[in-house]
């Protein structure tokens, strides 16, 4: 575990603007080969599942709008940051509804496991961000249905259509 003080900074060149710089000394403690996932607490709020990202000049953590609004942060805000290595299998907590469906169908799990870690996290995030258990189940069902139909090839446009269909059931 590492703790440090940081300032919310803003890149001028892309839409992923707000971030926290992390020193090389701290960042390298959490990086193993391709594994850069960390659990982050910002001013005692967290944990948030994040990745350490390398820019041309330094390592950083993205700070999304939801976190900034919750903590009332803006460019130049000073925060206390605590990092721990993220040991979770997917870099996010697996939603119960999604995990149960994969446990019930070997084919679904096979297609999901063949996806890249980033695509796996994207699908898990689609379910995690939904608060209502019934809606999480519908979204999970739509994702599994899509993976079966597409033989594991993700097409987010088709997936979104299936999600809409399942939401209207």
pLDDT digits (tens, 9 = 90+) for 19-45: 999 999 999 999 887 788 999 999 989
Q: What is the pLDDT of residue 124?
A: 92
Evaluate the CA torsion angle 130, 134, 140, 146 in order and state its sign: negative
- Take residue 57 and report the two structure tokens written for it: 């000049």
Classify residue 131: in a domain, yes or no.
Answer: yes
pLDDT digits (tens, 9 = 90+) for 98-143: 889 888 988 888 999 999 988 998 999 899 888 898 999 999 999 9
State the DSSP string of 129-145.
T--SHHHHHHHHHHHHH
Q: Cα(40)–Cα(63) distance, rounded to whole angstroms? A: 10
Classify residue 90: in a domain, yes or no.
Answer: no
Rg of the Cα trace of the chain?
A: 18
Which of 29, 55, 85 lies at the terminal end of a domain, its last residue?
85
The answer to whether residues 102 and 72 belong to one domain is no
The answer to whether residues 103 and 76 belong to one domain is no
Q: How far is CA 151 from CA 3, 111, 125, 159, in A?
A: 44, 7, 21, 13
Under the banding of pLDDT at 50, 70 and 90, the label for residue 14 is low
Domain extent at residue 13? 2-85
Q: Cα(114)–Cα(120) distance, rounded to whole angstroms? A: 9
Q: What is the pLDDT of residue 16?
A: 67
Under the banding of pLDDT at 50, 70 and 90, the label for residue 164 is very high
What is the total count of domains within the chain? 2
- Region 44-59: mean pLDDT is 89
pLDDT digits (tens, 9 = 90+) for 86-98: 988 887 888 889 8
Q: Are 108 and 148 in contact (CB under 8 A)?
A: yes
- Region 151-169: mean pLDDT is 90
The answer to whether residues 105 and 157 belong to one domain is yes
């Amino acid at each position: 575990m590492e703790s440090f003080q940081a300032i919310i900074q803003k890149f001028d060149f892309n839409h992923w603007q707000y971030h926290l710089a992390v020193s090389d000394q701290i960042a390298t403690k959490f990086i193993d080969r391709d594994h850069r996932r960390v659990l982050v607490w910002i001013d005692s709020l967290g944990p948030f599942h994040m990745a350490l990202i390398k820019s041309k000049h330094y390592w950083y953590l993205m700070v999304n709008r939801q976190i900034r609004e919750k903590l009332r942060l803006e460019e130049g805000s000073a925060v206390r940051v605590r990092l721990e290595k993220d040991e979770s299998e997917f870099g996010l907590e697996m939603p119960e509804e999604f995990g149960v469906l994969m446990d019930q169908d070997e084919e679904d799990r096979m297609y999901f496991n063949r996806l890249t870690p980033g695509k796996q996290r994207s699908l898990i995030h689609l379910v995690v961000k939904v608060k209502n258990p019934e809606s999480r189940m519908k979204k999970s069902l739509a994702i599994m249905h899509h993976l079966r139909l597409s033989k594991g090839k993700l097409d987010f446009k088709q997936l979104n259509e299936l999600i809409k269909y399942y939401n209207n059931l």
